[in-house]
Amino acid sequence: MSPGLTWFAILAASAVVFALKLVGHLLPEHWLAQPRVARIAALVTVALLSALVAVQAATAGRSLVADARLPALVVAAVALALRAPFIVVVVLAAVTAAVLRALGMP
């Protein structure tokens, strides 16, 4: 993306997110309080974040790749299972990948 297009995307996406927040404050409660709506919204959040994990950990452009990011993700999962704080999880993953790459893993 060119710098101009990136700025446009930032402003447009921010406007969309703000509009969604505002809609929640303005719409009649029963429109959004439908259990099915809340259920689907929760599941969409899970699906998007899960897909982002996969894409961020195992793809490069249009290829599937296995590199130092995968063992780093395993370390992150173990840290999460041990209830480590978010920032610790993120740093452990970065350190794992950095060390493995320093040792020659792609």
In the window 12-41, what residues touch another protein (CB under 8 A)?
A: 12-14, 16-18, 20-27, 29, 32-33, 35-41
Instruction: State which of positions 47-86 bind another protein (CB under 8 A).
Output: 47-59, 61-64, 68-69, 72-73, 76-77, 80, 83-86
- Residue 43 sits in the site that holds another protein (CB under 8 A): yes
**Dihedral angle computed from the Cα positions of residues 20, 24, 25 and 31, in that order, rounded to the nearest 10 degrees:** 140
CB of 58 to another protein, least distance (A): 6
Per DSSP, the three-state class of 28 is: coil
Number of helices (H), then strands (E), in the chain: 5, 2
Closest CA relative to residue 35, chosen from 43, 26, 27: 43
Size of the site for another protein (CB under 8 A): 79
